[in-house]
Amino acid sequence: MNKDILKYLEKHGFEALRPKAVLFDMDGVLYDSMPNHAIAWQRSMEVFGIRMTLDDAYATEGARGVDTIRMMVKKQQGREIDEPEAQRMYDEKTRQFHALPETHIMPGILDLMAQIHADGLTIGVVTGSGQRPLINRLLKDFGAYLTEDHIVTAYDVKHGKPAPDPYLMGLQKCGDLKPWEAFVVENAPLGVRAGVAAQIFTIAVNTGPLPNKVLADAGTNHIYAKMPDLAEAWHELISDCR
């Protein structure tokens, strides 16, 4: 890990990594929700004559839903649609998602958050989703560690992941922090690219079916295979920064 921190500091010309916050992505990080999202994407886009495979769903994970839809419509139907039309299609995706059984909290995440909280760091969430029920669930499940003012949703930023904007907004919401004062925890290539573009030390936890190489190519600073591995490594990781 030390070597990855040095590489990060050198790349950006920063003096030290002094994390005061951890910015978590939501789907595939806090919740084991990606299988349901992939199914909801596939079923809902079918309604509009758009073919979306499970691989497409994983590859576009983390982008704002409306951005993904506009891109797919352009690619498959050759037309530009406006945001309200994309939003109506996204509403169908949301409906399909909520028709599926509730997703589980990611194993290991509560243990990790408890340690982060005990170390005095702020916990933030930066997601491309924006449905109110999801925000309420976040506060119910992680309310011991998380407050609403530290959540960034699709509606807080104009440009979603892979643009740096969502994570830059996360830094701002968690106390006007500099990039070297936070970690990003992501599972998806577009999310990793967003964290890296915001110049934040970006940790990937590969909870899905994509090969590690995809996350490495996106520029991630360090990869874990699963959340309990990161929880176990947390103490050492934070010690390396001090």
Helix ranges (DSSP H) in the chain: 2-12, 34-47, 54-59, 65-77, 83-99, 109-118, 132-142, 165-173, 189-197, 212-217, 227-240
Residue from 134, 169, 163 nearest 149 by CA: 169
State in angstroms the smallest separation of the CB of 149 from Mg ion.
Answer: 21
Binding mask 58-97 for Mg ion (x = CB under 5 A): ----------------------------------------
From CA 26, how far away is CA 196, in angstroms rounded?
17
Among residues 25 and 165, whose Cβ is nearest to Mg ion? 25
Q: Site mask, Mg ion, residues 17-56, x = CB under 5 A?
A: --------x-xx----------------------------
CA distance 75 to 28: 26
Please report whether residue 170 would count as binding Mg ion according to CB under 5 A.
no
Which residue stretch of 41-49, 169-177, 187-195, 197-205 sits at the interface with Mg ion (rule: CB under 5 A)? 187-195
Nearest residue (CB) to Mg ion, 5 versus 194: 194
Residue selected from 42, 187, 199, 202 as contacting Mg ion according to rule CB under 5 A: 187
**Nearest distance from residue 113's CB to Mg ion, in Å?**
16
Residue 176's region, left for phi above 0, alpha for psi from -120 to 50, else beta, is: left
Least distance from Mg ion to the Cβ atom of residue 3, Å: 26
The tokens of 35 are what? 């299988």
Query: Residue 3: what are its φ and ψ, rounded to 5°?
Result: -65, -40
Q: Which of 113, 188, 200, 205 binds Mg ion (CB under 5 A)?
A: 188
Cα–Cα separations (whole angstroms), residue 210 to 19, 66, 140, 173? 28, 23, 30, 31
Stretch that binds Mg ion, among 39-47, 116-124, 184-192, 230-238 (CB under 5 A): 184-192
* Site residues, Mg ion (CB under 5 A): 25, 27-28, 187-188
